[in-house]
């Protein structure tokens, strides 16, 4: 473990070994501070109301780190203290609160989470640690000094026996609740009068049945009256509707006559517009034919020069570019031929005037000069023939280009007109078709209007006013009869509803009463079971306590024998039901521990605390004590009677406990320890030295 600013420890590091470790030093050297730091690191809660006893005076922060080995795994827990800025209060620094399993962080910054993880790992909680594992200074004999009743209460809680007492008490509250419920059922009005409820229920059911039969008859009468009323109402409605319709028909007759005249006018107008559209379409079609003939003429010209007649303007434009390139190439070739001819003629003229080679200027013979002149003449004739051929090709290409160029220009000029005329023809045809359809609609409308007009005139002639008055009188009589029957039916239904409500009320009360009767039977059985459970809880607690007492007495006697030694066997111990130790003499007399000497009481107190700790840990975790912390356990022990030596030797022999850490100022006690750590204070700062 490491301590930083804990009491007199500024920066201390201590490593304890397995077995019996002893911290030795003078008064105020910082021995007990180490045990306080262990308690703080594990559980965090202060021993008093504040942490003033733990943080070094004058410092604002302190820190404790404890590392321990358990079941082959290493754990480390870190806690810090921090003084608040204002005031002198000290609290935990939760940011530094961490618990590691090996190097893995398993909990941090939360006291409850740390405590839960620590108890899962070690089986220890704060109460068990401070009561069993850590025996503080001047607390060794505490359990011997309390009253038997207080001792029994504390140990019953630690052993878990008080849970049976608590369960026995809590079940009594449940028992009282069930007893109160049973008494309520015994006085319940419905339970006592269940036969009267059954009689009322059957009477209400009979009344409900009779009213249902009467209602069925009334409903049949009402149904017949409703049918008669509906028949007359329909007839009256039809006659009134016919009267209204006659008036409406007279208005419609005038409207239809006007509509027929309008339809005739509209049909005439549409016929004239349709004729105009047909004439316009014919004229546009004729113009379109002229433009198409011109285009066909140009396409025939293209076909005559071996070009496809369906070429687009873009294709023709590319063909023009091709012709331009051909003409440029031919003209360039023609120009080169002309220049070559000029040069050749100049050479021939020079050779004719002088008998020298025009290239090397050497004299030539007559025969050779004549031969050269003939060759030059032949070459000139060939060049002339080639120039004539190139000139002809250029003229032909130029002619073709002119034809193609004329076609392009005509296509560009005529195609928009053709497109425009075609679009106009399509628009005019659509308009003509719409007019024709509208004309047909008007013709159909006019026929329908004429037919409707004839039908309305026939309907007007069929209406009779006297029949309407007679049906009105019969309808009023049918209404009076219908309302009379319905009023009687509603009265019967209301009475049946009341009977139904009473039936439901009786049924619910009967059901509740039967449930209460069944519930009362269940409660009787339940109370019998609860009585048995309470008796079991009451009887098991003393039995378990007796078993704990037997084992406790044996363990105490075994430890005490090793402490007292074989030469003095008169110290025999017995334990009563309050866990109180009693000293038995060889004659069998019992006396209280208060009659023992100070040294004997110290040895007995250690044996007692050790045995109690073993049993409590076994009961809680399934294994005995693994660690024991002792703060000045040699109170009232002396070197003369070897009580100090015996205690130290016993601690060294307690191999059942993996690690014992004892704080003492007694050198004789420390000599028996397997490992010794000495503490000294210099200038108010504790120094830690491991001696062995």
- The pLDDT mean for the chain works out to 82
Residue 22 is predicted with a pLDDT of: 95
d(CA 671, CA 522) in angstroms, rounded, equals 71
Which residues are bridge partners to 445 per DSSP?
A: none
Instruction: Give me the sign of the Cα torsion angle 435, 436, 438, 443.
Output: positive
Q: How confident is the model at residue 437 (pLDDT cuts 50, 70, 90)?
A: confident
Rounded to 5 degrees, φ, ψ at 85 are -65, -45
Strands 685-690 and 2-6: unpaired
pLDDT, tens only, 193-202? 777 878 888 8
d(CA 628, CA 605) in angstroms, rounded, equals 14
Residue 232 has pLDDT above 70, yes or no: yes
Residue 383 is predicted with a pLDDT of: 76
Does 105 or 190 have the greater pLDDT score? Answer: 105
d(CA 572, CA 553) in angstroms, rounded, equals 10
Rounded to 5 degrees, φ, ψ at 66 are -125, 130
Percent of the residues in the chain that have a pLDDT greater than 90, as a whole number = 16
Percent of the residues in the chain that have a pLDDT greater than 70, as a whole number = 94
Q: Is the pTM of this model over 0.95?
A: no
pLDDT, tens only, 633-661? 887 676 666 778 888 888 888 888 889 99
Average pLDDT over residues 383-390: 79
User: What region, left, alpha or beta, does residue 408 occupy, with left being phi > 0 and alpha being psi -120 to 50 degrees?
Assistant: alpha
Instruction: Give me the sign of the Cα torsion angle 401, 402, 405, 406.
Output: negative
* Closest to 121 (Cα-Cα) out of 626, 686, 637: 626
pLDDT, tens only, 492-509? 888 889 888 888 888 888
Residue 542 has pLDDT above 90, yes or no: no
Average pLDDT over residues 314-319: 78
Q: Which CATH code, of 1.10.3470, 2.60.40, 1.20.1270, 1.10.287, is assigned to 195-463? A: 1.10.287
Question: E strands of 71-203, at which residues?
Answer: 73-83, 90-92, 98-101, 104-108, 134-135
Average pLDDT over residues 121-150: 82
C-beta pairs of 519-523 under 8 Å, 24+ apart in sequence: 519/181, 519/185, 520/182, 520/185, 520/186, 520/191, 523/178, 523/181, 523/182, 523/185
Does 278 or 292 have the greater pLDDT score? Answer: 278
pLDDT, tens only, 471-495? 888 888 888 888 988 888 898 888 8
Does 237 or 143 have the greater pLDDT score? Answer: 237
Q: Where are the alpha helices (DSSP H) in 597-675?
A: 598-621, 643-653, 667-671
C-beta pairs of 646-650 under 8 Å, 24+ apart in sequence: 646/562, 646/563, 646/564, 646/565, 646/603, 647/563, 647/602, 647/603, 647/606, 648/20, 648/672, 648/673, 649/562, 650/559, 650/562, 650/563
Q: How many residues does the chain have?
A: 692
* Closest to 495 (Cα-Cα) out of 195, 163, 218: 218
Weakest-pLDDT range from 33-42, 361-370, 448-457, 610-619: 361-370
* Closest to 509 (Cα-Cα) out of 191, 185, 182: 191
Q: How confident is the model at residue 136 (pLDDT cuts 50, 70, 90)?
A: confident
- CA–CA distances in Å: residue 8 to residues 5, 60, 682: 7, 14, 10
Q: How confident is the model at residue 354 (pLDDT cuts 50, 70, 90)?
A: low
Average pLDDT over residues 115-144: 84
Residue 180 has pLDDT above 70, yes or no: yes
**What CATH superfamily is the domain 2-138+596-690?**
P-loop containing nucleotide triphosphate hydrolases (3.40.50.300)
Residue 95: CB atoms within 10 Å: 10
d(CA 473, CA 455) in angstroms, rounded, equals 31
Strands 2-6 and 61-70: antiparallel
Residue 453 is predicted with a pLDDT of: 78
DSSP classification of residue 55: B
569 burial via Cβ count (<10 Å: 0-12, 13-18, 19+): exposed
Instruction: Give me the sign of the Cα torsion angle 524, 525, 530, 535.
Output: positive
* Closest to 619 (Cα-Cα) out of 161, 152, 153: 161
pLDDT, tens only, 543-597? 887 887 888 788 878 877 777 765 555 578 888 888 788 887 666 667 777 777 7
Q: How far apart are the first and last CA of the chain?
A: 17
Residue 212 has pLDDT above 70, yes or no: yes
DSSP classification of residue 363: B
DSSP classification of residue 692: -
Residue 97: CB atoms within 10 Å: 19
Rounded to 5 degrees, φ, ψ at 63 are -150, 145
Q: How confident is the model at residue 19 (pLDDT cuts 50, 70, 90)?
A: very high
Residue 355 is predicted with a pLDDT of: 63
What ranges do the domains of the chain cover? 2-138+596-690, 195-463
Burial 300-309 (b: 16+ CB within 10 A, else e): ebbeeeebee
């Amino acid at each position: 473990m490491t301590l930083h600013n804990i009491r007199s420890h500024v920066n201390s590091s201590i490593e304890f070994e397995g077995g019996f470790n002893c911290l030795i030093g003078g008064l105020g050297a910082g021995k007990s501070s180490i045990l306080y730091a262990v308690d703080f690191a594990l559980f965090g809660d202060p021993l008093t109301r504040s942490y003033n006893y733990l943080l070094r005076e004058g410092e604002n922060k302190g820190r404790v780190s404890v590392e321990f080995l358990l079941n082959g795994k290493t754990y480390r827990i870190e806690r810090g203290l921090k003084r608040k800025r204002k005031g002198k209060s000290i609290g935990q620094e939760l940011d530094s609160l961490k618990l590691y399993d090996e190097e893995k962080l398993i909990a941090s910054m939360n006291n409850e989470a740390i405590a839960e993880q620590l108890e899962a790992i070690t089986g220890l909680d704060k109460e068990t640690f401070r009561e069993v594992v850590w025996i503080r200074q001047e607390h060794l004999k505490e359990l011997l000094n309390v009253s038997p009743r207080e001792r029994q209460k504390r140990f019953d809680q630690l052993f878990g026996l008080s849970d049976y007492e608590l369960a026995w008490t809590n079940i009594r509250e449940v028992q009282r609740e069930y007893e109160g419920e049973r008494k309520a059922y015994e006085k319940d009005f419905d339970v006592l009068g269940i036969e009267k409820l059954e009689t009322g229920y059957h009477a209400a059911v009979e009344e409900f049945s009779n009213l249902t039969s009467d209602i069925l008859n009334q409903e049949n009468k009402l149904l017949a009256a409703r049918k008669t009323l509906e028949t007359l109402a329909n007839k009256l409605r039809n006659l009134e509707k016919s009267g209204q319709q006659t008036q409406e028909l007279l208005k419609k007759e005038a409207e239809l006559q006007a509509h027929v005249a309008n339809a005739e006018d509209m049909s005439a107008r549409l016929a004239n517009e349709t004729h105009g559209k047909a004439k316009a379409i014919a004229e546009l079609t004729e113009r379109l034919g002229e433009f198409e003939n011109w285009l066909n003429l140009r396409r025939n010209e293209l076909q005559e020069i071996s070009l496809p007649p369906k070429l687009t303007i873009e294709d023709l434009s590319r063909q023009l570019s091709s012709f331009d390139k051909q003409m440029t190439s031919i003209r360039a070739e023609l120009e080169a031929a002309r220049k070559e001819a000029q040069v050749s003629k100049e050479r021939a003229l020079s050779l004719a005037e002088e008998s020298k080679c025009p290239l090397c200027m050497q004299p030539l013979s007559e025969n050779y000069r004549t031969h050269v002149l003939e060759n030059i003449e032949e070459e000139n004739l060939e060049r002339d023939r080639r120039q004539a051929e190139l000139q002809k090709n250029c003229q032909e290409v130029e002619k073709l280009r002119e034809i193609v160029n004329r076609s392009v220009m005509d296509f560009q000029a005529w195609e928009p007109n053709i497109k425009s005329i075609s679009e106009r023809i399509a628009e005019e045809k659509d308009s003509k078709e719409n007019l024709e359809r509208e004309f047909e609609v008007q013709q159909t409308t006019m026929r329908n209007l004429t037919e409707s007009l004839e039908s309305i005139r026939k309907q007007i002639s069929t209406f009779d006013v006297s029949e309407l008055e007679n049906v009105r009188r019969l309808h009023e009589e049918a209404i009076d009869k219908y309302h009379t029957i319905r009023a009687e039916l509603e009265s019967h239904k209301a009475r049946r509803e009341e009977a139904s409500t009473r039936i439901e009320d009786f049924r619910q009360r009967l059901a509740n009463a039967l449930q209460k009767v069944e519930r009362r039977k269940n409660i009787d059985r339940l109370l019998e079971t609860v009585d048995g459970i309470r008796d079991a809880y009451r009887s098991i607690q003393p039995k378990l306590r007796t078993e704990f007492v037997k084992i406790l007495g044996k363990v105490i006697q075994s430890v005490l024998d090793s402490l007292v030694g074989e030469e003095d066997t008169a110290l025999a111990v017995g334990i009563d039901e309050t866990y109180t130790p009693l000293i038995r003499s060889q004659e069998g007399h019992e006396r209280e521990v208060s009659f023992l000497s100070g040294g004997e009481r110290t040895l007995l107190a250690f044996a007692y605390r050790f045995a109690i700790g073993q049993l409590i840990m076994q009961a809680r975790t399934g294994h005995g004590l693994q660690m024991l912390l002792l703060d000045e356990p040699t109170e009232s022990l002396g070197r003369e009677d070897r009580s100090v030596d015996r205690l130290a030797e016993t601690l060294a022999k307690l191999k059942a406990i993996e690690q014992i850490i004892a704080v003492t100022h007694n050198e004789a006690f420390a000599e028996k320890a397997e490992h010794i750590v000495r503490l000294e204070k210099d200038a108010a700062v504790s120094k830690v030295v491991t001696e062995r």
